[in-house]
Structure 1
């Protein structure tokens, strides 16, 4: 049985604002990432603004965050590291998008880290030099700056996308207890509309009536309706055609 890859470590280098550290913790937990390492946070640690921003469950990411004086020490146990940067570098390293970087991360046998720089200027060349590869987001070149928490969220999403459903559930917003209409109920709804539209002379000219009815039936079959939806549509038609 194939083992799941280890989750990446998130390393924030010289983060400046506690709110951004807390926001990064929330972004991490959104996609199941729990190990944060902080390098020389500007305002010290612990930071009450970070704790307030993490709000609730994400606070446990901060509770277990480890503090290091240098990036070199923060990379203890890391076998492959990605440095996130929007700026061009003179360093010769492979460059990935977030999607391709996390695809590579999933194939790595050891611990992987994703390194993020301080809010004002990002990672320095000395920081990037300690990484194996660079991750750059293909954003608007006229405004390439991402908020720290946004950048963490983006990488977390790309890491977790293999375990996420490919599409949102079509019934995600359905109220609790609602029951989907079955094919017979949809069929009867189609019959009801076809009868009333026929009486109203909708299917005209006669030569096109058959294809018009087929298209209408096909439309009903494409709709995702609850039993409540079907009752409303029956009632609406009855009211409109009431003499």
Structure 2
């Protein structure tokens, strides 16, 4: 999956959050579907989420960094080419709970491991899979059953839905984690980053230690 990791940017954002209060809003501008879109008809236990939608991966910018993403809800609107300044990155575990968070991590890791999506058909199926994970919070995934169902009037996309192997996807080792790009008024999206390597953890811990030392020094000076 050709998602720009934004790992350094997110690490910097984490440190900035520790140092600054209040945190600044994140700026999002999505300009197009990465590979075009395919029609996706979905039905959900939430009636407001049922309908027919263009499905596929989006390309745009997050805080001026190029990235690609998928929509995580069907109950809000979003306009391509418009810049929004009311988004915040929320930890996926906090946003969705453990089952959805782990499902999303395995889904995105599966994409990275297999170089997907790479065309409009599997891009649309990946979008349907994201919706499935979000709207089927019990972790039992099936495009044809449960709280969320998906189908397409495009023959190739429907075939891809029929042959999608959830068991393989959900057995993928987690190489990437996924957080929510949250807005109170617009559609929510994903931010996916690689699992940090050990040296990255060491750098993060060093940075947090420095923040703690500065805080302690400030308290000592105040006394």
- Which structure's residues are more often strand, by fraction? 2
Query: Which structure has the larger Rg over C-alpha atoms?
Result: 1
Normalising by structure 1, we get a TM-score of 0.27
**Which structure has more RCO (C-alpha within 8 Å, separation ≥ 6)?**
2
Normalising by structure 2, we get a TM-score of 0.29
- Which structure's residues are more often helix, by fraction? 1
